Structure 1
Amino acid sequence: MTDTWQTITRLAIRLENHSTLPREQRILLQLLKIQEEAGEVAEAVIGAMGQNPRKGHSHTWEDVEAEVCDVIVTGMVALIRMNPDAAAVFARHMERIAGRDLGENAERPAG
């Protein structure tokens, strides 16, 4: 299986090579892309639940999963465009989350 961060790096390089905008604008637009993708998640959920009267059941829960994956990938691309050491930044952040939410003081299931 391809290393995820290698794929993310390749995607980021492709986007960097495509744009002629200044770096700050490229990053800003990439960050806005996360919101665009999150909107697609919302659209897919509404479609999966059949809550748009014009469209009915226009999406499946598999569509929702795919859209959530797009949000994750877009966020990872944004992070690596901001910081080339994104994998380490993300790993440190995950360690903080695990310590905070899964550590000794985290809530334990009743049982």
Structure 2
Amino acid sequence: MTEQAPPSADLWSGIDDLWTWLDANRPIGGQEGLLLRVLKLSEEVGEVAEAVIGATGQNPRKGVTHTWDDVQAELCDVVITALVVLRTLTPDTREVFAGHLARVRERSLGRA
């Protein structure tokens, strides 16, 4: 039986792999490419909204078109996209994220 890496290690290596692949295959670089990568986050958030509307059947013309599993998958896409954008901004992604999470926890829960 092989020992699995901790989920956090899998997460960060996965983000690094995706960032490397995207960076090697981006058609537009520089500042414009960065802005487009940030805009991709808005697209993914829109897909979450579409999935929620579809899961609740809020569009009477379409009815129920999605499941809550679809919503979960779209939320995962938002998180992945956000972390890839963060990795695009800094190679210190893990440290930046961990520091920010600690500040949010402290602010919200009163402890780190």
TM-score (norm 2): 0.87
Give yes or no for the alignment of 1:84 onto 2:91: yes
Code of the residue aligned with 1:70 in structure 2: it is D
Give yes or no for the alignment of 1:11 onto 2:18: yes
Q: Which residue of 2 is the match for residue 95 of structure 1?
A: 102
CA-to-aligned-CA distance 1:21-68 (integer Å, 9 cap, x gap): 232222111110000000000000000010112211000011001101
Give yes or no for the alignment of 1:53 onto 2:86: no
Give yes or no for the alignment of 1:42 onto 2:49: yes
Report the number of matched residues: 104
Q: Percent identity?
A: 49
**Over aligned residues, Cα RMSD in angstroms?**
1.3
Q: Which runs of 5+ in 2 are unaligned?
A: none
Q: Which runs of 5+ in 1 are unaligned?
A: 105-111
Question: Using the alignment, how far apart are the partners of 2:68 and 2:110 within structure 1?
Answer: 32
Question: Using the alignment, how far apart are the partners of 2:36 and 2:54 within structure 1?
Answer: 27
Q: Which residue of 2 is the match for residue 23 of structure 1?
A: 30
Question: Using the alignment, how far apart are the partners of 2:33 and 2:13 within structure 1?
Answer: 20
Shift >4 Å, 4+ stretches: none
Question: Using the alignment, how far apart are the partners of 1:21 and 1:51 within structure 2?
Answer: 37
Q: Aligned-pair distance for 1:20? A: 4.2
Q: Which residue of 1 is the match for residue 75 of structure 2?
A: 68
Question: Using the alignment, how far apart are the partners of 1:101 and 1:66 within structure 2?
Answer: 27
Question: Using the alignment, how far apart are the partners of 2:19 and 2:79 within structure 1?
Answer: 14
Question: Using the alignment, how far apart are the partners of 1:42 and 1:22 within structure 2?
Answer: 29
SS of alignment partner, residue 37 of structure 2: helix
